[in-house]
């Protein structure tokens, strides 16, 4: 089983317990077939927070943030790291993310960085977390209903996947299961 470190940080202390429960619950799900990855969601260490603030203050570009974050972790020999940022919808990070993609109503993910600002239910958090594992969206923005365009009607990677839509594990389509397994093999050096 692959072990990977995921860092998270947030500016919503009143939601800390709820967010930790969401992370624990998804961690439990994906530790079972068909994914079988063990990961730690660890609060970003205080000594890294200043560097992170600097990255986010240097530009208004989500892609630049992701690239700078990769360099930041590499400099600290933290190779297999990703970052989940959970913030208020009114925050600067959310506003920049929405400017980059106005359809990203609840969050955005670019490579090793996911930013969640729509906390209306746990699936919006899980959706962005699964992007960090390699899952792709299962909807077409050009379609008016934005319904799932995959083989799994309860896929969490659909647009605004509600609790009623997703139901129980496994809530990923075959394509995204394969995408995640491929990313895991890459982390293991198996290509």
The answer to whether the CB of 148 falls within 8 A of the CB of 155 is yes
In terms of phi and psi (left: phi > 0; alpha: psi -120 to 50; beta: otherwise), the region of 41 is beta
pLDDT digits (tens, 9 = 90+) for 132-158: 999 999 988 776 767 778 988 889 998
CA angle 6, 15, 46 (to 5 degrees): 45
The answer to whether the CB of 22 falls within 8 A of the CB of 58 is no
Joined tokens for residue 150: 């995959």
Q: For the chain, what percent of residues have pLDDT higher than 70?
A: 92
Predicted pLDDT of residue 78: 66
| Average pLDDT of the residues in 167-181 | 89
Using pLDDT thresholds of 50, 70 and 90, give the confidence band for residue 96: very high
Predicted pLDDT of residue 3: 55
Is 118 contained in some domain? yes
Full residue range of the structural domain in which residue 54 is found? 2-136+174-187
Is 51 contained in some domain? yes
Question: Number of folded domains in the chain?
Answer: 1
Measured CA to CA, the distance from residue 191 to residue 186 in angstroms comes to 5
Is 167 contained in some domain? no
Joined tokens for residue 77: 């020999």
pTM of the model: 0.87
Is 38 contained in some domain? yes
Is 178 contained in some domain? yes
Is 159 contained in some domain? no
Q: For the range 181-184, what are the long-range contacts, defined as Cβ-Cβ under 8 Å and sequence gap of 24 or more? A: 181/34, 181/35, 182/134, 183/133, 183/134, 184/2, 184/35, 184/37, 184/133, 184/134
Predicted pLDDT of residue 19: 86
* CATH code for the domain in which residue 39 is found: 3.40.50
| Average pLDDT of the residues in 117-135 | 88
Q: Return the C-alpha torsion angle 179, 184, 189, 191, nearest 10.
A: -10
């Amino acid at each position: 089983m692959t072990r990977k470190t995921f860092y998270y940080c947030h500016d919503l202390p009143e939601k800390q317990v709820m967010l930790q429960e969401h992370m624990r619950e998804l961690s439990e799900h994906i530790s079972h077939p068909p994914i079988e990855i063990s990961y730690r969601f660890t609060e970003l260490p205080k000594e890294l927070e200043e560097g992170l603030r600097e990255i986010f203050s240097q530009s208004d570009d989500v892609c630049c943030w992701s690239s700078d974050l990769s360099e930041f972790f590499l400099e600290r020999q933290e190779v297999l790291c990703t970052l989940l940022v959970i913030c208020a919808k009114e925050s600067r990070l959310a506003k920049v993310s929405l400017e980059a993609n106005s359809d990203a109503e609840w969050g955005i993910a670019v490579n090793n960085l996911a930013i969640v600002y729509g906390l209306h239910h746990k699936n919006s958090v899980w959706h962005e977390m699964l992007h960090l594992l390699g899952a792709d969206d299962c909807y077409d923005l050009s379609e008016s209903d934005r319904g799932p365009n995959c083989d799994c009607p309860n896929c969490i990677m659909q647009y605004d996947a509600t609790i009623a839509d997703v139901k129980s594990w496994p809530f990923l389509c075959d394509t995204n299961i394969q995408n995640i397994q491929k990313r895991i093999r890459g982390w293991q050096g198996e290509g």
